[in-house]
Structure 1
Amino acid sequence: MAGAGASQLSPRWMPFLSLLAVLCFLATQGLAVKENDFKKCSQSGFCKRNRAYADNAIALGPSWQAPYKISSELASFKDGQFQATILKTIDEQGTTVRLPLTISFLKSGTARVTVDEQRRQEKDIELRHNSQIRKERYNEAEKWAIVGGLEVDTEAKVSHQSETGIKILYGPNLAFEADIKYEPYSIEFKRGGATHIKLNDRGLMNLEHWRPKIEKPTPEKKEGEEGQEENKDETPEPDPTEDESTWWEESFGGNTDTKPRGPESVALDITFFGYEHVYGIPGHTGPLSLKETRGGEGNYAEPYRLYNSDVFEYILDSPMTLYGAIPIIQAQRKDSTVGVFWLNGAETWIDITKAKETKNPLALGGTDNINTRTHWISETGQMDVFVFLGPTPHDITKNYAELTGTTAMPQEFSIAYHQCRWNYVSDDDVKEVDRKMDRYNIPYDVIWLDLEYTDDRRYFTWDSNMFKDPISMGKQLDNHGRKLVTLIDPHIKNVGGYQIADELKSKGLAVKNKDGKDFDGWCWPGSSHWIDAFNPAAVKWWSSLFNYDRFKGTMENTFIWNDMNEPSVFNGPEVTMPKDNIHYGNWEHRDLHNINGMTFHGATYQGLLSRKKGELRRPFVLTRSYFAGSQRFGAMWTGDNQASWEHLGAAFPMIISHGVSGFPFSGADVGGFFGNPEPELLTRWYQAGAFYPFFRAHAHIDSRRREPFLLTEPYRSIVTSALRLRYSLLPAWYTEFYHANQDGSPILRPLFWTHPSEEAGFGIDDQFFVGSTGLLVKPVVEKDKATADIYIPDDEVYYDYFTYKRLPTAKGKRLAVEAPLEAIPLLLRGGHIVPRRDTPRRSSQLMKYDDYTLVVAVGKDDKAEGELYADDGDSFDYEKGQYLHRVFKLEGSTLASTDAEGRNAKSLKEGEWLKRMRSVFVDKVVIVGAPPAWSSKTEAQVESEGKKFSVPLEYHQAGGGKTGFAILKRVGVRIGADWTADFS
């Protein structure tokens, strides 16, 4: 569904919105995103102040005196933690503010640096009418984002200590070092004796301390009168040279934000020494390798912004904020990866600049290196930074996953194809689409219902005129092995007689305004309240609403879509919630804005876990808004894109960026949400979407119907082929999701991740490998394009996936691959084995017990290896050992299958699914790159479970090349059994 920014409203839907809601809607929206509707740094007081602070420090150069130092007598190191007090000098008289510092060295090798501010006194806090604002800085981001990995490494030790600083060795084999300087305060993080990351490198750290609001003296008052004297240690007077205009309130777009706590931003500069490429901080629409933000040709003039917002029809190649925020950056140079995770849920801006550095000859052999300098600025909260020293991309993602969790193991249907639009208008409409997909033999797994299925925008209800029998609809889908997803948003229509709204208000579970009353804003239903999912009682209540006896009309094959959860508020500042709203615990919305969407996503996830007593099925919940840790609850998509070639091309850098930032289950609306794609564009988008981890077509209410069966030939057949390719490879995709679930690995892997030694690949973001499968893909994203130039990062052999033809060796070069409209540029890297299922079916549910095909791509060393992970794709029984995990290896002329974990099948108690898998076999093995000597062979010898037998072998030439491929037919070995095939 569109966010607040649907470009137009069809007249037939106007009666469903109140007049006021429509007027608000049309007054604030247009045909495309208006950049002026969203703040730039100069319009955000704390960003402007901190950028000015940085400009001043840089302009002063060596004469700049950073006002932060550690008091050595207040510093100590014990049991893996360094604790100290940073003293911030705030005036010429030497008045200081005390900032507690804790550096924790974790067993994973990650270092955590936290800077807080001493708790402020009760007498100094301003109380609002009916609401007390929390005195301390927001300190609950950890509660929502972090799930583990915080165990301190007590083996860390001091290597040097003096009055000026301390050096601490930590990490695996004590290979890492933190060099903490006391005055001015800074921390260098070293590996191999060289500095990789430095905090406060340029002295731009700025923590805006709490201060009382002091009214300007009137002419009648004389200096020294009562009320003017304050204890300097507790309530220092503000520096009169500072710009106070946005300290206590700030206006933008006709909205005024009151700030009872005054200015309290945190800012820190972090430098990556010798690193030219940095990635992460999604979501944004620019390239994977992040651009500089201080102007210059090809660069941005604005910092990257993280402030979850409903940015409809977003513009491309921009640092503007989008729907979600994951504040992690990783830096890459040849054979080395490092990163930082900035744990802060408030509005955040990040400046990025790059400069040549020659002052650190030890770092990289004394040559000129590019240093990437970042400047992080958040409106409120603690300064909380996790530092990762790698050294590989996999180390970064693994350590980040230990902290924030991994991708939830998905239901198998959820990684197949989803059919959606705003809106399928009735249950008959849904049934007819379902029938026509079958009539044209087009596979799909899920059909979606957007806003209009509800009774007048009341969630958990059905429009009784158009959806008269949702159970009958659900049963038809279930009989065809398909699922239904319905939209549930966080805004609750404020109208009498609506039970959900009545309960929300009576239980006191809504977000409050600054006066302590239920916040009322405008969204799709008109006047609305918002559930406060930071409140445990609200989560418990919300979860109960998904029970089958409460959300009547839903079944076990019904799942949920959370949209608009930034939150989107049509008449709010920047189309979102006022920052001075109050959440559970008396925290202001400004403190936790970027976390808000994740709490709602998590509450819905909990609801699907508990719909029925005794039913333990994996939830599927799609979200539009997200934060670090959202990957634990489901999938996300990139929001309201457009039906244009440019948006098709922009999708992969966005999806890849999310994957390397810990959220791999992501996708973009196939076909573009807004507009009407031409057949060529729609066809190419399906070919690209077949390689999105989350694969869904979606369209705006005013777009023409574009279900695949409506396409004319040859487009319909080409799209169907792309869908069938996705379905045949579902075993490989599911295996990659298993790895993402285990250690946070991205599913779409850019070249910097797979080939960290190949510097020429660090900036490439239009091609990728699918996990560890060896599948290298470069979908066509340009009009009338009939070739693809694929960069080959190594000297391994590559084959055309479809013809099995061996391609010319091209390490470090771009290989031209033919890509007419009916073709997807897809290569298979030698040395890999890919599992797939080749029997065409209409849904993944119907493939559940089909036999497998193994595609073996012989490497240059005559070896290959691959994996298959499988479970029932539905329950949590895999946590009890109910799964198959096989490793396949080809060495010379022998192919073998063994249990990946060395488990003894005889000792494993088989549940229903494992018992049924006993009748699932390896049907066929394709050996791509089989040597010519095999051309005379007619059979291979197979041994499994105490039996030996011969299997027919056919040899084929591959596209006239010097190599061929062999097919081992009707292998007949159980997929879960050990077996060998001998081709000698």
Structure 2
Amino acid sequence: MLLLALLVTLLLHTTNAVDQTKFRTCTQTGFCRRHRNKVPSNTYTAALTSSSPDAPYKFLLHPSKGYTSTHPNLSLTVDPLSNGAVRVRVQENNPETSRWESSDILLPAGLSRCASTTHTSDSSSVTISSTCSSSDPPTNTVISLSPFKITVKQGDETLMSINESQLFHFEHKRDKGGVQAATAEPSDTKADHHNGKKIVGYWEDGLARYEDGTTEVKPVEDASSIPKEDEDGFWEEKFQSHHDTKPNGPMSFGVDITFPQKSTRLYGIPEHASSLALHATRPPPSGSASSQAPKYKDPYRLYNLDVFEYDLDVPMSLYGSIPLLISHSVDTGRVSGAFFNNPSEMFIDIWSGEGMGSHWMVETGVMEIFLLVGGSEVSEVYKQYSSLTGTQALPPMFSLGYHQCRWNYKDEKDVYAVHKKFEEHDYPYDVLWLDIEHTDGKRYFTWDKRFFPNPVKMQQTLWEQGRRMVTIVDPHIKRDNNYYVHKEATAKSLYIKNADGKSDFNGWCWPGDSSYLDFTEEKVRKWWAEQFKLDKYVGSTPHLHIWNDMNEMSVFNGPEVTMQKTTTNLQGVEHREWHNIYGMLFQRATSEGLVLRSGGKERPFVLSRSFYAGSQRWGAIWTGDNAARWDHLAVAGPMLLTINTAGLSFIGADVGGFFGNADSQLMVRWMQSGAYQPFFRGHAHHDSARREPWLFGDEALQMLRQSSMERYALLPFWYTIFHTSSITGMPVMRPLWMEYPTDPNCPALDHQWLIGSDLLVCPVVQENAVKVNCYFPGTNQNWYNVRTMQVQPVPASKWVNLDAPLDTIPVFQRSGSIVPKKLRLRRSTEMMRNDPYTLVVAGESATGELYIDDGHSYDFENGEYAKRRFDYVGGKLTNTKLSGNWGANGTCKDWIERIIFMGVSSKPSSVVTSAGQSLEFTYDKNTLVVRKPELGVVDEWTLEIL
């Protein structure tokens, strides 16, 4: 019977549409219901208790009115940080049991306090002034005492406020039976109505709540009229057949964060299959007029879940979550934000009224908010955020190439055949992937010897042409006592436990009965990392990299296809506390395993489906189980832009769509778009028709191949932008508003994007379309078509309906930029290693950078890299050193074989180097091509056009 149930579950897991009834909404979730129904009536009062210059400012926080005899005072701390952000924390004051918080999210260096801090106070407020935010005016954090509110300003400009709408509500630990909120009717029938309205419950502060949801309130004078037991999810609640008990009772909190009237849009809080700009989910709580009617009836939800073939344009959860909200103002160009450091479940309401607002409703944990003040440049807010959670790790060069995957290449013969076809068609690719069927009965770190008898030889065959392999390793471990991984994990007690804290959790996933390792525990991560050593992962080689799937975590027979919240980690902490970081910690442990395997010498590549704030430090992400549909192609851009906006750049969507069958037109358009997105992988479900590029006919094959060639030509540029991201935290794939923050047309644009600041991509995402409407931002800004090398005429409206036949994706280079390329066709990045560079210069004056290192090791951390700057001014192109010691000993052979100048108004008489050498060139249609300058990349030189 259990086997039958499992088979049914697996069948349901592979159907062609998401069953939304499997996943909770706000109205089906106790803490969200309570907070969303909270009326802004009762207020909190703050009192300054400590203002030491060497510690955070401390306040006592408590309800201003209502029944409070069992409500503990709250501890509020406000701490300006040296990175310019402001840290705000709230928890019970001297709680008997501290609330749990993770030590694996924040970087200690990002938490250093601002040394230049002073404060002033009076009877109504405390103002903390700090001057650590670059060259901007001092940041003034004003704590209003009664009612409690926090407002952050720079100069006269208000940037954001906490509790502006008085939605702050904090539920505390207690013994069952104490005074608490309820939805049960009062036992005193004389008191169950007020002004003709039925009272359906009370807030714990003693204010009545009405059936019709109005904001009118009735203070409760007598504590005896407040019910002692709860029916609104305080101590237990059910969803479908699943029962969630809560021994600690209600521990949620909620608070509003608002941005001023000049705030134009809010972005972030991925992952959702929705637009880049967040939609309103409720009217403003203040009762002011809404400038944006609510589009969704439910708040945005952050709770990592396995949602296959997800619906579009809905706020429901997907595979990852980053609780980072970004505000942008067109009027001022200002960007600021708020980061909630909390990995438990949360819902976020958005509204638009006099400015933009948000209401955060969080199930448990400490209320810790980092207010990202930002600065005069957009990059300032990402500098602050990345100092807290880390920058994008610099990926190995091969991982930026094209990846070919499906579930599953069935055997070694299949692998060799696919590999051979790529060779025959001169189609560049870097990685061939194997899904779960390559294993022995879904036992990870093993091979099915019937189909993969010689995995080492297979990997070496690919490596001979510079190709690598990726295999899948998921977090669920098959409960088989003859399986060495399970046997050792059981013996060492490394698994997540049931609610009793003793027995190992058993859930269903691909192998059937499975247990799940506790990656919140450092010793478990270290043990897991050791499993990737070559003598343990038998059949692996240094050229094998890893794919982490199902790590939300996915449990087929669990509530919402995940694990019960009452399971515990090895420290006895409930799963509800750390759910959203599990996938990131799994990816981290795997990444550390590949580094350990190489003796700390090689950069790893690990792809993960689940993610959280900080995942950018551990590898790449993809958007999960999309479908071979045009609307899924269209939504990929906004989804990837949103995740980039939240600081995670190495991200892609399955090219062609995972579920279903892509025809040649959809495949061509998706390959074109994917080639200009950070992670570039084709992938398909095992029930989908085979879709290797040569299976769509010769004409489509040439178009698909062209897309891959364009990707490989731009790899020096991609690598340089990723390096910049690893230093600054700025996204790689950027919405237009990041580079043009005061352009009123940019905030809502998410069907086109920028790579760095220099390439504008306008993909075609509609069936049968041969034109695409593209917006060209910037004042007096020229853009050059990367294929024709001619300037694009742009009308005053800046909108152009571009020709885009099936073989064309419109891509433009910004005037004033210099883009490095490699134009020799090779089969892989490894084979391109020693190829020379081409520089493409756009406009009469331009600048650009090139970053190079060995592409695979950590030697760059010791200065073994070169970062060069190219400047073109007054007809002179100059190469200067920015940093790095690559080639200092004369061993660097990197050279430039071609320089292309776009926008040269007349044919020059000659082109000469600073050494007096006259160079060969051609000139046609305002494009000058200097051939074979043979200039060293790491040498200082000047080239002059006469």
TM-score exceeds 0.5: yes
Q: Please say if 1:198 is aligned against 2:183.
A: no
Distance 2:160 2:499 in 1: 41
Q: 1:492 aligns with which of 470, 474, 477?
A: 477
Cα 1:178/1:740, change in 2 over 3 Å: same
Q: Deviations over 1:80-112 (max 9, x none)?
A: 621111123684366541111111110111000
Map 1:201-240 → 2, pairs under 5 A: 201-214=164-177, 239-240=226-227
Kindly state the Cα deviation for residue 381 of structure 1 after the two structures are TM-superposed: 0.3
Match of 1:956 in 2: 924
Tell me, in whole angstroms, the C-alpha distance in 1 between the residues paired with 2:14 and 2:457.
38
Shifted more, 28-37 versus 592-601: the winner is: 28-37
Equivalent residue number for residue 128 of structure 1: none
Alignment of structure 1 residues 721-740 onto 2, 5 Å:
721-740=706-725
Q: Quick check: 1:285 aligned with 2:286?
A: no
Indicate if the aligned counterparts of 2:71 and 2:172 stay in contact, CA closer than 8 A.
no
1:771 to 748, 756, 759: 756
Q: Which deviates more, 21-30 or 174-183?
A: 21-30
* Correspondence for 1:377: 361
1:982 aligned counterpart, secondary structure:
strand
Verify the 8 A CA contact 2:242 2:559 in the aligned structure 1. yes
Tell me how far 1:79 sits from its aligned partner: 3.0
- Using the TM superposition, give the Cα deviation of residue 775 of structure 1 relative to its aligned residue in structure 2, in angstroms: 1.1
Q: 1:573 to 1:96 in 2, by over 3 A?
A: closer
Partner Cα separation in structure 1 for residue 846 and residue 905 of structure 2: 14
Question: Equivalent of 1:248, from 202, 219, 235?
Answer: 235
- Say if 1:857 and 1:93 are closer, same or farther in 2 by CA, change over 3 A: closer
Alpha carbons of 1:238 and 1:250: their partners in 2 closer, same or farther (altered >3 Å)? farther
Q: Mapping of 1:565-964 within 5 angstroms?
A: 565-612=551-598, 614=599, 616-772=601-757, 774-794=758-778, 795-810=780-795, 812-858=797-843, 862-901=844-883, 908-909=888-889, 915=891, 917-918=892-893, 920-932=894-906, 935=907, 937=909, 939-943=910-914, 947-957=915-925, 964=926
Q: Give how far 1:297 is off.
A: 5.5
* Contact 1:767–1:777, Cα closer than 8 Å, also in 2: yes
Contact conserved, 2:661 with 2:688, CA < 8 A, in 1?
Answer: yes
Q: Is the 8 A contact 2:259 2:327 kept in 1?
A: yes
Find the residue that maps to 1:726 and give its secondary structure.
helix
Q: 1:70 aligns with which of 35, 46, 69?
A: 46
C-alpha distance in structure 2 between counterparts of 1:811 and 1:341, whole Å? 39
Q: 1:353 aligns with which of 351, 365, 379?
A: 351
* 1:395 alignment partner, one of 380, 386, 396: 380
Q: 1:543 matched to which residue of 2?
A: 529
Tell me how far apart the structure 2 counterparts of residues 34 and 681 of structure 1 sit (CA, whole Å): 26
Contact 1:21 1:527 in 2 (8 A): no
Q: What whole-Å deviation, never above 9, does each CA across 1:686-714 have from its counterpart, x for those lacking one?
A: 00000110000000010010011222021
User: Is the Cα–Cα contact under 8 Å of residues 434 and 472 in structure 2 kept in the other structure?
Assistant: yes
1:975 to 934, 937, 942: 937
Query: Partner amino acid for 2:917?
Result: F
1:86 to 45, 61, 65: 61
Structure 1 residue 432, shift from structure 2 partner:
1.2
Maintained 8 Å contact 2:863/2:886: no
User: By how many angstroms is 1:137 displaced?
Assistant: 1.3
Q: Structure 1 stretch 410-419 or stretch 291-300: which is displaced more? A: 291-300
Distance 1:634 1:893, change over 3 A: same
**Structure 2: which amino acid aligns with 1:187?**
I
| Distance across 2 between alignment mates of 1:93 and 1:288 | 42
User: Are the counterparts in 1 of residues 42 and 64 from structure 2 also a CA contact under 8 Å?
Assistant: no
Query: Counterpart of 2:152?
Result: 189
- SS in structure 1 opposite 2:105? helix
Q: Tell me the CA shift for residue 541 of structure 1.
A: 1.0
2:511 is matched with: 525
Instruction: Say if 2:139 and 2:152, in contact at 8 Å, map to a contact too.
Output: yes
| Distance in 1 separating the partners of 2:108 and 2:402 | 31
State whether residues 127 and 140 of structure 2, in contact with CA within 8 Å, keep that contact through their aligned partners in structure 1: yes
Matched AA of 1:824? I
Asked if the contact 1:80/1:106 (under 8 Å) is kept, the reply is: no
User: What amino acid is the match of 2:572?
Assistant: N
Identical residues among aligned pairs (%): 39
Structure 2: which amino acid aligns with 1:268? Answer: V
Distance (whole Å) between structure 2 residues aligned to residue 143 and residue 271 of structure 1: 28
State how 1:449-460 maps to structure 2 within 5 Å: 449-460=434-445
Give structure 2 stretches of 5+ with no counterpart: 180-204, 206-222, 284-291
In 2, are the aligned partners of 1:88 and 1:99 still within 8 Å (CA)? Answer: no
Output one character per residue of 1:439-461: Cα deviation in whole Å (capped at 9) or x when no partner: 01111000000000000000010
- Distance (Å, rounded) in 2 between the aligned partners of 1:298 and 1:260: 36
CA positional deviation for 1:21: 2.2
Deviation at 1:395, TM superposition (A): 1.0
**Do the aligned partners of residues 483 and 193 (structure 1) sit closer, same or farther apart at CA in structure 2, a change above 3 Å counting?**
same
Q: Distance in 2 between matches of 1:30 and 1:805?
A: 48
Report the CA distance between 1:811 and its aligned residue. Answer: 5.2
Q: Decide which of 77, 87, 90 is 1:115's aligned counterpart.
A: 90
On the 8 A contact 1:279/1:289 being kept in 2, the answer is: yes
TM-superposed CA distance for 1:829, in Å, is 1.3
Is contact 2:552–2:610 with CA below 8 Å preserved after alignment? yes
Report if aligned partners of 2:430, 2:468 keep a CA contact under 8 Å in 1: yes
* Gap change, CA 1:619 and 1:238, over 3 Å in 2: farther
* Contact 2:866–2:886 under 8 Å retained in 1: no
User: How far apart are the structure 1 equivalents of 2:630 and 2:942?
Assistant: 48
Aligned residue for 1:164?
124
Pick closer, same or farther for the CA change 1:324–1:641 going to 2, 3 Å. same
Match for 1:316 among 312, 315, 324?
A: 312
Task: Name the aligned partner's letter for residue 205 of structure 1.
Answer: F
Does structure 1 conserve the Cα–Cα contact (< 8 Å) formed by 2:865 and 2:886?
A: no
Cα separation, partners in 2 of 1:922 and 1:242, compared to 1, 3 Å: farther
Determine if contact 2:736/2:746 at 8 Å carries over to the other structure.
yes
Give 3-state SS (helix, strand or coil) of 1:377's partner.
Answer: strand
Contact 1:333–1:759 (Cα < 8 Å) also in 2: no
| Equivalent of 1:386 in 349, 365, 370 | 370
The Cα shift of 1:48 comes to 0.5
Counterpart of 1:178 in structure 2 is 141
Structure 1's unaligned 5+ residue stretches are 1-16, 58-63, 122-134, 217-231, 358-370, 958-963
Listed one character per residue, the Cα deviations across residues 294-314 of structure 1 (whole Å, up to 9, x for unaligned) are: 278671111000000000010
**In structure 1, what is the Cα distance between the partners aligned to 2:350 and 2:264?**
11
Q: Tell me if the contact between 2:271 and 2:319 (Cα under 8 Å) persists in the aligned partners.
A: yes
**Residue 24 of structure 1, CA deviation:** 3.1
For residues 435 and 904 of structure 1, do their structure 2 counterparts lie closer, same or farther at Cα, with a shift above 3 Å needed?
A: closer
| Residues 70, 178 of structure 2: 8 Å contact kept | no
Aligned to 2:539: 553
Change (3 A) 1:90 1:543: farther
CA–CA separation in structure 1 for the residues paired with 2:172 and 2:553: 29
Q: What is the rounded CA distance, in whole Å, between the counterparts of 1:187 and 1:855 in structure 2?
A: 50
Q: Tell me the secondary structure at the aligned position of residue 646 of structure 1.
A: helix
| 2:165 alignment partner, SS class | coil
- Partners of 1:34 and 1:474 in 2: CA distance: 39
Letter in 1 for 2:347: W
Which of 441, 461, 484 is 1:476 aligned to?
461
Cα root mean square deviation, aligned = 2.0
| 3-state SS of 1:464 partner | coil
Q: Which residue of 2 is the match for residue 144 of structure 1?
A: 105
1:29 offset after TM fit, Å?
6.5
